[in-house]
Chain A
Amino acid sequence: MSLQVDGAARGGADVPSGGGGGGDGARRRPRSRVRGRPQLYTSYAADQAIWNTPAKRAWTLALVAAVLVLPFLLSRDLTSLLTTVFIFAIGGIGLNLITGYAGQVSLGHAFFMGLGAYTAAVFGGESTDRVVGLGLDMAIWLPLAGIVPAVVGLVVAPLAARVRGLYLAILTLGLVFIGEHVFKEARSITGGAGVGRAPAEPVLFGVDLSGRYHLFGYILSREDVFYFVCFAIFLVMAIAARNLTRSKLGRAFAAVRDRDVAAAVMGVSLRRTKTLAFTISSFYAGIAGALLVLVIGRVTPTSWNLFLSIDFLAVILIGGIATISGSILGAMFVVLMPRLVSELADVVPFISTSPGTGVFSVFQLQTMLFGALIVLFLVLEPRGLYGLWVRARNYWKAWPFSH
């Protein structure tokens, strides 16, 4: 990533220099922006930086600080839920890379997540009489959980690169069905239908992450440790994705999305671009899958189904197509909304918490809200939650003008 080198604090144009004597010193410091003038760029690095204004930088830091403090204030189950948000965000970013940025509709996300989860389980899980497991360290199984789905993505990509639109959707849908079947049958790897297997052991560099730790007088529970680890992984992957989208490849993605023929005419290799999109997206999906089972625990092979894929489509549709921040917002929404609805159920009388009583059950309401929101977002704000944010920001940015 290319952040701006900020030497402006010393010797910016509006800082009076020493006056008479020796001037500013013999060496010329590289400066890319002038303090107090956020739009005065004196280098391309500053112009193109992710955090190109001091306000953005300050808010990002504040947000990270808030996220780091949260587990000390929240109950364990909420901490766990937020961990799920990070993992969904990783998966959402992966899907956004291929569907949002590169414009290739993929319903096969669940398959790659499952693949990641089982790769992790095989390399990092305990070996029992029913399933195989190598019991390796997380530093080994976590990258592998990304690499193996990426390789499978690479193998599938030449097929997928030949079709687009609906045909691609059907093709990737096929992946989910094949995957579900294989997962059910490969008992020694997945534990088989209805049984499942234990996830990989979260031992990172020999440190058991499922233990309790003491930090500055606080006791860090297993959930807290997971929270921080997942947040760190999420942060790295999100920034990597953001930089990817600003790179040559990211622009190639967008070119292919906007019009593949035009992109090809401009010299963008369609096959290469689409293949890379599939591969990178599968990598993200694999990591998300491996981490997700760590939080949820034992899952049956049938969980990696079409509905999970659709959940992720909802993440990027509600969050915002082709934005990294949108994927994060969408993940928050999709993960936290069910919880919010069930909290509401205690307050609002006509929602029942158990099926069969009341007007709606919580689960019915969740599903209906989900569907309704996707429809509403598509109609009213196709750019999703991120689009709403952009609107609000532009409103104040132009103040007191309207444009």
Chain B
Amino acid sequence: MNTTAATTGETWRTIPHRIRTWADRQPDRVCLREKRFGIWQDITWREYWDNAQLVAHGLAALGVGAGDRVGIHSENRPEWLYTDVGCVAIRAISVGLYSTNPPAEVAYLLRDSGARVLIAEDQEQVDKALAVEDQCPDLEWIVYLEPRGVREYTNPKLLHWPDFIERGRAHQAEHPTLLDDATAAAGPDDVVTLIYTSGTTGPPKGAMLTVRNVSFATDVLGGGPGLYDPAPRESDVTLSYLPLCHVVERAATIWVNAAAGTTVHFAESIDTVVANLREVQPTLFFGVPRIWEKIHAGIQIRMSSASRVKRLAYRVGRALADRIADDIVRHEGRRSVRAKLLYALGYPLLFRALRDRIGLRKVRACGSGAAPIAPEVLRFFFGIGVVIREAYGMTENSAVATGNRGARVKLGTVGEAHEGTEVRLDDDTGEIMTRHPGNFAGYWNKPDKTVEVLDADGWLRTGDVGEWVDGTHLKIVDRIKDVIITAGGKNIAPSEIENALKTSPFIKEAVVVGDRQPYLTALIGIELETVGNWAQRRRLTYTTYRDLIEKREVLELIQGVIKQVNADFARVEQVRKFRTFPKELDHDDGELTATQKVKRATLHDRFGDLIDDMYGGTTKFAGGDLAQVHTPASSEVPA
């Protein structure tokens, strides 16, 4: 079945090819489920492939040809997949937009990619596109999925999805060989998608992934123990909830599904993930640290308000879990007989029910990636029998680099190199470099940026500093650009300290500051839900986020967390002072990227007053040091 490129002898298969194979082999097996009107609606392989073909023809009917870009601005849903697969089927290029992207970023992405057609989910996304329509000269069509509110719009570029599909059907009748011709013309160097980097440091850059990249990543991540270990099977069930425009979810949803034939369930929205998890009980689950932290914090909060007997049961269960976690860490991911016995003891008491409530009862493989995760959080999940395997990868290498596999899990590392992957560290800087067929073709329209990261020998500079642990496992120190050099000349990785702080259920954002300064300080944002709950139980009244975070008691709470975290760090790495963000950081305000990563430069700029306050020795803003806290002297809002 493999298509072999005559020149190189390498094998590659496109995603449409794989979907088509499934549709031929098991046309009536369910491969996707989408919750609509309160019911999980089945979609079979045949329906998946038929719809993808119709979309391909529909795009062709709108004039999209080989190499043209098609934007997708939607939450995860089957139409996203149809469009992505349909694009590749006619050799067009799909471009994902985050549903949280504000109009200005939508304009940038559409202009930069030069998308001719945009698939917009609903009125919200259509409005964003229409607002910036005049800045995007290439945009010819906007196909909307949800007609509510859009029906009355008269813009001639608008097209409703069913009409779009009808055009595809008509086109299919006229040009039945279109897809076969496209398949015959396809080559391994065809660009299939642009995945825009989150852009923590500058404007997002569109990474071009080719057929070869995706095929390699699909085989490694979906066909073997790459993203999940043990490797995915047909019987596996997954939940699709992270943004599909991110490379990780693209891999977890589309590539794994196409490679292994898993059944993908689409969460209704990011807000219903918890409820959907409970319903779906996936067997494979990939989470970003934020999700794992949230589940962890959610358990702690709900336990703190549980009845006495239940709290006692939880305490006993946790005591067992801690031992199990230690055991698993010591045996590098393998469950020893002792761990199994302890687990069997805690299973009826706590673990079974707890895992059921959080929707991870049936999980048999799960991973974490895309950002560093605190070892404490991993330990917690190890203890309740959910062995999370941390993996490492990035958009530019199709998410393929390293992973913790088998009984060789080392806590605090991102594991060993995947099969067919070369990983090495730069001799001078310690920067991690990877080389494999998944290395991207370059940044879209930015050859100057491409040469900065991709050298002539095919090595990709990841921008992360790493070090080897025991010669086999890779440990990420930090982003090169984020490493803090204190006035004393000491190199410090802020993310480690930040993650330790964020392990606390009360702390959502922690930004460690201290470059060229005598000591470290931190800007802290709280988790409104958990701190609000904490305040309620203390009968502390508050109105807004700012009111809450500037309460003396809350400041003392933060102070306590910092002191506790400091105990685990060397003296130079200890946070001496902190100030609190007067607002929740937000993507719309440009403080976070679409993937909720902080943009340090923006923050340093915007909250410079807070930083000056700390190093100037003044106490103008709410915060404190290790000895005392203070509420703001004035109500002046910084920047």
Contact A24 B237 (CB under 8 A): no
| Bound Cα distance A192, B305 (Å) | 65
Q: Are A41 and B26 in contact (CB under 8 A)?
A: no
Min Cβ gap B30→A in Å is 6
Contacts of A403 in B (CB 8 A): 302, 305
Q: A13-B263, A36-B362, A39-B278 are in contact. Are A400 and B40 (CB under 8 A)?
A: no
* Bound-state Cα–Cα, A11 to B28, Å: 11
CA distance A238 to B5 in the complex (A): 70
Instruction: Pick the most buried of A16, A37, A398, A401: most chain B CB atoms within 10 A of its CB.
Output: A401
B280 located at the interface, meaning its Cβ lies under 8 Å from any Cβ of chain A in the complex: yes
| Closest partner residue, chain A, to B40 (CB atom) | A42
Contact between chains at A402 and B305 (CB < 8 Å): yes
What residues of B have a CB within 8 angstroms of the CB of A23 in the complex? Answer: 25-29
Query: A248 contacts the other chain (Cβ, under 8 Å)?
Result: no
Q: Is A19 in the interface zone, CB < 8 Å from B?
A: yes
Establish whether residues B33 and A24, one from each chain, have CB atoms under 8 Å apart when the complex forms.
no
The answer to whether residues A13 and B237 also contact, given A24-B26, A37-B280, A401-B357 and a CB cut-off of 8 A, is yes
Chain B 444-467: CB-based contact to A (< 8 A → 1; otherwise 0): 000000000000000000000000
A15 interface contact, C-beta 8 A: yes
- B contact set with A: CB distance below 8 Å: 25-30, 33, 38-42, 44, 233-235, 237, 263, 265, 278-281, 283, 302-303, 305-307, 310, 313-314, 317, 350, 353-354, 357, 362
The chain A residue sitting closest to B22, CB to CB, is: A23
Knowing A400-B353, A401-B357 touch, does A17 contact B26 (C-beta < 8 A)?
yes
A186 within 8 A of B: no
Whether B281 contacts A40 by the Cβ 8 Å rule is: yes
Say whether A17 contacts B29, CB under 8 Å.
yes
Do residues B28 and A26 form an inter-chain contact, with CB atoms below 8 A? yes
- With a CB–CB cut-off of 8 A, which chain A residues contact B42? 31, 42
Asked whether, in the complex, the Cβ of A402 is within 8 Å of the Cβ of B39, the reply is no
Q: Are B354 and A400 in contact (CB under 8 A)?
A: yes
Q: A208 contacts the other chain (Cβ, under 8 Å)?
A: no
- With A16-B234, A17-B234, A39-B279 already in contact, the answer to whether A400 and B314 are too (CB < 8 A) is yes
Q: Identify A47's interface contact among B30, B39, B44, CB under 8 A.
A: B39
Residues of A within 8 A of B283 (CB): 14
A28 within 8 A of B: yes
List 20 A-B pairs, Cβ < 8 Å. A13-B30, A14-B235, A17-B29, A23-B25, A23-B27, A25-B28, A26-B28, A28-B44, A37-B280, A37-B362, A41-B40, A398-B357, A400-B310, A400-B353, A400-B357, A401-B310, A401-B357, A402-B302, A403-B302, A403-B305
What's the tally of chain A residues with a CB closer than 8 Å to chain B? 31
Majority DSSP secondary structure for residues of B touching A: mixed
CB of B302 within 8 A of CB of A27, answer: no
Contacting residues, chain B, for A11 (C-beta < 8 A):
29
* Least CB separation from B310: chain A residue: A400
- How many whole Å from B345's CB to the nearest CB in chain A? 15
Question: What residue in chain B is nearest A16 (Cβ atoms)?
Answer: B235
Please state if A37 and B279 are interface contacts (CB–CB under 8 Å).
yes
- A403–B263 Cα distance when bound, in Å, is 31
Per-residue CB contact flags for chain A residues 36-54 toward chain B (1 = under 8 Å, else 0) read: 1101111110010000000
Residues on B with C-beta less than 8 A from A43 are 39
Distance of A4 from chain B, by nearest CB (Å): 12
Report if A400-B317 is in contact (Cβ < 8 Å); known contacts: A16-B234, A23-B29: yes
State the Cβ distance, B441 to closest chain A Cβ, in Å: 34
Determine whether A218 belongs to the interface, using a CB cutoff of 8 Å to chain B.
Answer: no
Known: A13-B235, A15-B235, A47-B38. 8 other contacts (CB 8 A): A14-B362, A23-B27, A28-B44, A40-B40, A40-B265, A40-B279, A41-B38, A43-B39
B281 (CB) vs chain A CBs: closest residue: A37
By a CB distance below 8 angstroms, the chain A residues around B38 are 41, 44, 47
Closest A residue to B354 by CB, please name it.
A400
Chain A residue with minimal CB distance to B42? A42
Residues of A within 8 A of B357 (CB): 398, 400-401
For A15, list chain B residues within 8 Å (CB): 235
Which chain A residues have a beta carbon within 8 Å of chain B's beta carbons? 11, 13-17, 19-21, 23-28, 31, 36-37, 39-44, 47, 398-403
Q: Verify B234–A402 contact, CB threshold 8 A.
A: no
Q: Which of B40, B234, B281, B310 contacts A399 (CB 8 A)?
A: B310
| Given A23-B28, A26-B28, A42-B33 contact (CB < 8 Å) | yes
With both beta carbons as reference points, the residue of chain A lying nearest to B307 in the complex is identified as A402
Pair B27/A14 contact, Cβ less than 8 Å: no
Report which of A14, A21, A24, A42 forms a contact with B28, defined as CB distance below 8 A: A24
Bound: A37/B283 CA distance, A: 11
Q: Please determine whether B39 and A401 come into contact, CB atoms closer than 8 angstroms.
A: no
Residues of A within 8 A of B29 (CB): 11, 17, 23-24
Closest to A14 in B: B235
Residues of B within 8 A of A31 (CB): 42
Residues of chain B contacted by A16 (CB below 8 angstroms): 233-235
> In whole angstroms, how far apart are the Cα atoms of A44 and B40 in the complex?
10
A116: min CB distance to chain B, Å: 42
Chain B neighbourhood of A402, CB < 8 A: 302, 305-307, 310
Bound form: Cα–Cα A403–B305 in Å: 9
Pair B41/A400 contact, Cβ less than 8 Å = no
B235 — which chain A residues lie within 8 A by C-beta? 13-16
In the complex, what residue of chain B is closest to A45 when comparing beta carbons? B39
Q: Which of A14, A31, A398, A399 has the most C-beta atoms of chain B within 10 angstroms of its own C-beta?
A: A399
Q: How far is B358's CA from A399's CA once the two chains are assembled, in angstroms?
A: 11
Residue pair B41, A42 in contact (C-beta under 8 Å): yes
Residues in B whose Cβ lies below 8 Å from that of A25: 28
Q: Which residues on A sit within 8 Å (CB–CB) of B317?
A: 400
**A-side contacts of B303, CB under 8 Å:** 400-401
Contacts of B350 in A (CB 8 A): 400
Partner of B25, one of A20, A37, A41, A42: A20
Q: How far is the CA of A47 from the CA of B37 in the complex (A)?
A: 12
Whole-angstrom distance from the CB of A148 to the nearest CB of chain B?
Answer: 43
A42 touches B39 (CB 8 A): yes
Contact yes or no, A19 B234, CB < 8 A: yes
Chain A residues contacting B354 (CB-CB under 8 Å) are 400
Of chain B, the residue at the smallest CB distance from A402 is B306
For the complex, what is the distance from the CA of A17 to the CA of B310, rounded to whole Å?
A: 41
In whole angstroms, what is the CA distance A43 to B38 when docked? 9
> In the assembly, what is the distance between CA of A398 and CA of B310, in Å?
10
Q: In the complex, A402 Cα to B265 Cα: how many Å?
A: 28
Nearest residue (CB) in A for B233 is: A16
| Assembled-state Cα–Cα distance A398/B362 (Å) | 18
CA–CA, A16 and B236, complex, Å: 9
Do residues A401 and B40 form an inter-chain contact, with CB atoms below 8 A? no
> Which residues of the other chain, B, contact A398 by a CB distance below 8 angstroms?
357
Report A-chain residues with C-beta under 8 Å of the C-beta of B313.
399-400
A401 contacts across to B, CB distance below 8 A: 302-303, 306, 310, 357
A43's nearest neighbour on chain B, judged by CB, is B39
| Separation of A200 and B310 alpha carbons in the complex (Å) | 57
- Set of chain A residues within 8 Å of B310, measured between Cβ atoms: 399-402
Give Cα A39–Cα B237 distance, bound, in whole angstroms: 14
A37 to B30, CA, bound (A): 15
A24 to B279, CA, bound (A): 24
In the assembled complex, the Cα of A147 lies from the Cα of B27 at a distance in Å of: 54
Give the shortest distance, in Å, between A395 (CB) and chain B (any CB): 8
> A41–B306 contact, CB under 8 A?
no
Task: Report the nearest A residue to B28, measured CB to CB.
Answer: A28
The answer for the CA separation of A43 and B42 in the assembled complex, in Å, is: 10
Give the chain B neighbours of A26 by CB distance below 8 A: 28
| Closest beta carbon of chain A to B90's beta carbon, Å | 27
* A14 close to B39 (CB less than 8 A): no
Chain A residues with CB under 8 Å of B302's CB are: 401-403
Q: Which 4 A-B pairs have the closest CB atoms?
A: A23-B26, A402-B306, A39-B279, A401-B302
Question: What is the minimal beta-carbon distance from A263 to any residue of chain B, in angstroms?
Answer: 24
Contact call B28/A41, Cβ cutoff below 8 A? no
The answer to whether B280 touches A40, judged by C-beta atoms less than 8 angstroms apart, is yes
B314 lies within 8 A of A41 (CB): no
- Give Cα distance in the complex from A39 to B361, angstroms: 13
The chain B residue with its CB closest to the CB of A32 is: B39
C-alpha spacing A24/B26, complex, angstroms:
6
Please indicate the chain B residues that have their CB under 8 angstroms from the CB of A39 in the complex.
278-279, 281
